[in-house]
């Protein structure tokens, strides 16, 4: 199949969305699909205000149209709601080409955190973006229900995976941490307001707080919490070694749609402590035993983050690693391919106008 994958999120960004898309792209190519990527590095870009490592493509409409026309894709998947995503959406609608989208990030919540305005004010833009899609990929059942409640009913499950050859309990641990007071409480993710790291840093308990990641909130948090150890962004083997060194992963975010770092930690044998919110509920489960009917805990969720950490520290590490085996990138890619909208699902005679295409989508 000829697949076009369009994403405004790409390297040098370091986050779960980019890791998911890069891994999926590699899996698709390994399976023999002809993949065309449209990413910001192919266009002139400017830094996103307050997020300079996020590059926004400028005047990309013609370039996107040219690349998509040359690719002649059987399926178009638009992963993000940025300039490239809107340009690809326009190309598809102008040509009556069915396309799929995915919902990775709760942008209304992020903007609300930064502006103080209600998140509901920003949902109309996202509804407008996703409404014409043949399917909207969502990582969890809970997220599917949320989107359906917002009037976006054409959801499709696209879960996530973990590299079990990289993230595993056996292997080197990050050096220089041996002499630190235990437990080692690790937080991995973008150091930004929406990741809600401050409540974790405010937890008053013995041990050492480790922060892996970079972002706009890093200088202020480092200055306010000199007792915490900020390790910067880590990748690959170094990130896996950081997980293995930790006694618990603390995931304080209240806005993530999934939380890829949680299954990376579990695969490394590290239990998870988090708030009982979407993301953690969909991986750790309300009772801490996961979502697959297990009888042993893999972490702990609590509105009191300190209490969640306390319970998670008693969890068996082997149980965590065993649970993570259920999250594979092969299964994730199976779901991705199954959700695409290639030509066979269109009418026998493809509609020749945007109005006709919209009639099909209704």
Q: Six-digit token pair at 5? A: 């994958």
State the pLDDT at residue 343.
54
CB 345 within 8 A of CB 284: no
Write out the E strands in the chain.
Answer: 2-6, 34-38, 45-48, 51-57, 75-78, 100-102, 135-138, 155-157, 184-188, 208-212, 229-232, 248-251, 272-274, 299-301
d(CA 286, CA 265): 18
Domains of the chain: 2-161+330-361 (3.40.50.2000), 184-327 (3.40.50.2000)
Q: Which residues of the chain have pLDDT under 70?
A: 50-51, 107-115, 119, 343-362
CB 135 within 8 A of CB 156: yes
State the pLDDT at residue 289.
97
CB 282 within 8 A of CB 145: no
- Supply the DSSP symbol for 183: P
> Which of 269, 218, 276 shows the shortest CA–CA distance to 243?
269
d(CA 198, CA 271): 20
State the pLDDT at residue 107.
67
d(CA 326, CA 191): 29
Phi then psi for residue 66, to 5 deg, are -65, -45
State the pLDDT at residue 356.
35
């Amino acid at each position: 199949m000829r697949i076009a994958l369009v994403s405004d999120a790409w390297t040098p960004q370091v986050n779960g969305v980019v890791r998911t898309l890069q891994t999926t792209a590699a899996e698709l190519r390994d399976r023999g699909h002809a993949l065309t990527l449209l990413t910001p590095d192919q266009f002139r870009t400017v830094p996103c205000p307050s997020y300079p490592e996020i590059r926004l493509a400028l005047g990309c409409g013609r370039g996107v149209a040219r690349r998509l026309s040359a690719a002649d894709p059987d399926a178009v998947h638009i992963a993000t709601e940025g300039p490239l995503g809107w340009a690809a959406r326009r190309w598809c609608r102008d040509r009556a080409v069915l396309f799929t989208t995915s919902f990775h990030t709760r942008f209304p919540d992020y903007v609300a955190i930064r502006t103080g305005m209600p998140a509901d004010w920003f949902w109309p833009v996202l509804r407008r973006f996703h409404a014409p899609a043949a399917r909207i990929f969502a990582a969890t059942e809970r997220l599917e229900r949320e989107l359906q409640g917002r009037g976006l009913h054409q959801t499709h499950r696209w879960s996530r995976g973990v590299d079990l050859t990289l993230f595993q309990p056996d292997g080197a641990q990050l050096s220089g941490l041996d002499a630190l007071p235990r437990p080692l409480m690790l937080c991995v993710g973008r150091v930004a307001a929406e990741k809600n790291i401050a409540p974790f840093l405010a937890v008053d308990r013995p041990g050492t707080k480790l922060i892996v990641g970079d972002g706009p909130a890093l200088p202020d948090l480092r200055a306010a919490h000199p007792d915490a150890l900020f390790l910067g962004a880590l990748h690959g083997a170094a990130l896996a070694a950081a997980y293995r060194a930790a006694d618990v992963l603390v995931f304080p975010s209240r806005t993530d749609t999934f939380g890829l770092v949680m299954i990376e930690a579990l695969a490394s044998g590290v239990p998870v402590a988090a708030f009982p919110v979407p993301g953690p509920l969909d991986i750790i489960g309300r009772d801490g035993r996961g979502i697959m009917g297990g009888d042993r805990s893999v972490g702990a969720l609590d509105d009191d983050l300190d209490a969640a950490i306390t319970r998670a520290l008693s969890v068996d590490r082997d149980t965590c690693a065993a649970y993570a085996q259920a999250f594979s990138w092969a299964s994730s890619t199976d779901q991705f391919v199954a959700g695409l909208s290639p030509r066979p699902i269109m009418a026998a005679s493809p509609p020749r106008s945007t109005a006709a295409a919209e009639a099909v989508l209704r």
